[in-house]
């Protein structure tokens, strides 16, 4: 399992990389919007500096046509670095762009996936990662677990080199279900990770241990005995 941060917030990336076992960062235009009118490439390079050269960084194209997507990819790879995963929405133009970018050996993530069929096509076009939108599919009444399981089964059956990078989560339970269904990787807002480890019952348990220890040993910790 790999956990990625679905954010472009520099403070969150610094803080959560320090705490959690984070494997990389993903962004999209809606996530970038939350940071305001930033200097886009300077900001993305700052993310790269924080996470290091080996940590996967996924950045999305914004053009809607194939030629424009390929130009966006070239700009991303030139102005950031050649290891960036270029995120391409799996549309008709997107599939064309994925084929073209893979012929140039660019790392590609097929995104905005709402069906097994979209994922299958992206895999066959050569995408390194595919990003099924877990919560958005649930909102549409689709079975996200089954769709991810179908993608995982096809990868296993035919030995595709594609990784499932599940995205669009509203809670930690959805993330767990995506992993159990076969996603190797999940990207999420930092708040989902924080919520997973700060639930009141966890904090109550820790407060109970703290009170019991102090009742006998006072303020001294184990190291101070």
Q: Are 137 and 130 in contact (CB under 8 A)?
A: no
Stretch that binds ligand G3P, among 40-48, 70-78, 129-137, 152-160 (CB under 6 A): 129-137
Q: Does 26 bind ligand G3P (CB under 6 A)?
A: yes
Q: Which is nearer to ligand G3P, 30 or 198 (CB)?
A: 30
7 scored as a contact of ligand G3P (CB under 6 A): no
Q: How far from each other are the two terminal CA atoms of the chain, in whole angstroms? A: 38
Residue 77: helix, strand or coil by DSSP? helix
Q: Smallest distance from the beta carbon of 25 to ligand G3P, in angstroms?
A: 11
87 part of the active site = yes
Nearer to ligand G3P (CB atom), residue 104 or residue 191:
191
Would you say how long the chain is, in residues?
A: 225
Three-state secondary structure call for residue 20: coil
Q: Where are the alpha helices (DSSP H) in 80-199?
A: 92-103, 116-125, 134-139, 144-158, 172-181, 190-197
Tell me how far apart the alpha carbons of residues 108 and 96 are, in angstroms, rounded to a whole number.
12
Interface segment toward ligand G3P; rule CB under 6 A; list 28-36, 41-49, 70-78, 177-185: 28-36
Write the interaction track for ligand G3P spanning residues 48-87; mark x where CB under 6 A is met and - where it is not: ----------------------------------------
Provide the minimum distance between the beta carbon of 58 and ligand G3P in the complex, in angstroms, as a whole number. Answer: 8
Using CB under 6 A as the binding rule, whether residue 135 contacts ligand G3P is answered as: yes
Only segment of 24-32, 38-46, 76-84, 116-124 that touches ligand G3P (CB under 6 A): 24-32
Interface with ligand G3P in residues 153-172 (CB under 6 A): 167-168
In Å, how far are 97, 117, 124, 136 from 178, measured between CA atoms?
Answer: 27, 17, 22, 13
Number of other CB atoms surrounding residue 8 within 10 Å: 23
Which residue's structure tokens are 């877990």?
Answer: 134
| 3-class DSSP assignment, residue 149 | helix
Q: In angstroms, what is the minimal distance from the CB of 43 to ligand G3P?
A: 17
Residues in contact with ligand G3P by CB under 6 A are 6, 26, 28, 30-31, 133, 135-136, 167-168, 187
Catalytic sites, residue numbers: 87
């Amino acid at each position: 399992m790999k956990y990625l941060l679905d954010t472009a917030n520099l403070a969150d990336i610094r803080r959560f990389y320090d705490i959690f076992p984070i494997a990389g960062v993903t962004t999209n235009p809606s996530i970038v919007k939350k940071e305001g009118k930033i200097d886009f490439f300077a900001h993305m390079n700052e993310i790269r500096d924080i996470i290091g050269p080996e940590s996967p960084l996924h950045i999305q194209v914004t053009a809607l046509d194939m030629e424009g997507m390929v130009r966006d990819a070239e700009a991303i790879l030139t102005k950031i670095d050649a290891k960036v995963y270029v995120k391409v929405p799996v549309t008709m133009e997107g599939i064309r762009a994925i084929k073209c970018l893979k012929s140039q050996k660019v790392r590609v993530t097929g995104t905005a996936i709402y069906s097994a069929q979209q994922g299958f096509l992206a895999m066959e076009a050569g995408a390194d990662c595919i990003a099924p939108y877990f919560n958005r599919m649930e909102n549409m009444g689709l079975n996200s677990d089954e769709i991810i399981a179908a993608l995982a089964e096809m990868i296993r059956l035919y030995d595709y080199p594609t990784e499932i990078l599940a995205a669009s989560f509203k809670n930690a339970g959805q993330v767990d279900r995506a992993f159990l269904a076969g996603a190797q990787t999940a990207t999420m807002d930092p708040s989902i990770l924080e919520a997973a480890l700060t639930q009141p019952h966890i904090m109550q348990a820790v407060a109970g241990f703290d009170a019991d220890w102090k009742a006998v040993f006072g303020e001294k910790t184990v190291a101070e005995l």
